[in-house]
Amino acid sequence: MPLFNYRAADVAGKIVQGSLEAREERLVVRHLQQGGLIPIRITRENAAEGRPPGLLSGRGRRIPPGDVVLFTRELAALLKAGLPLDRSLQALLEVTTRPALKTCLAQVLRDLQAGKSLSEALGRHPVFSPLYISMVQAGETGGFLETALARVGEYLQTVSELKSYVISALIYPAILAGVASISMILMLLFVVPRFEMFFKEMGQTLFFSTQVLIAFSRGFRSYWWLGGLALSAAVIMVIRLGRTPQGRLWLDRLKLQAPFLGTLTRQVAAAFFAKTLGTLLHSGVPLVSALRVVGNSVSNRYLSRALSGVVVEVEKGQNLSALLKKVGLLPELFLQMLAIGEETGHLADMLLSAADSLEASARAGVRRFLALLEPLLILGTALVVAFIIVSLLLPILNLYEIQF
Per-residue pLDDT reduced to its tens digit, 192-230: 888 888 888 877 678 888 888 889 888 888 888 888 898
pLDDT at 40: 56
Quote the DSSP letter at residue 189: I
Domain ranges of the chain: 1-49, 52-128, 144-404
Distance CA 328, CA 46 (A): 41
**Contact status, residue 75 vs residue 105, Cβ threshold 8 Å:** no
Tell me which of 18-27, 54-63, 95-104, 373-382 is least confident.
54-63
Does the structure show a pLDDT above 50 at 47? no
- Domain 52-128 in the same topology as domain 1-49: no
Question: Binning pLDDT at 50, 70 and 90, where does residue 404 land?
Answer: very low
The per-residue pLDDT for range 70-129, each reduced to its tens digit, is 888 888 888 888 888 888 888 888 888 888 888 888 888 888 888 888 888 888 888 888
pLDDT at 61: 59
The per-residue pLDDT for range 133-165, each reduced to its tens digit, is 877 877 787 777 888 888 788 878 877 887 787
52-128 placed in CATH 3.40.50.1980: no
pLDDT at 65: 81
Does the structure show a pLDDT above 60 at 56? no
**From edge to edge, which strands make up the β-sheet containing 3-9?**
15-21, 3-9, 38-45
Q: Bridge partners of 330?
A: none
pTM above 0.75, yes or no: no
pLDDT at 372: 84
- Region 304-323: mean pLDDT is 82
Phi, psi of 372 (to 5 degrees): -90, -40
Does the structure show a pLDDT above 60 at 46? no
The CATH code for residues 144-404 is 1.20.81.30
1-49 placed in CATH 3.10.20: yes
Does the structure show a pLDDT above 60 at 49? no
Does the structure show a pLDDT above 80 at 332? yes
pLDDT at 400: 66
Percent of the chain with pLDDT over 70: 89
Distance CA 363, CA 379 (A): 24
pLDDT at 53: 39
pLDDT at 402: 52
Does the structure show a pLDDT above 60 at 54? no
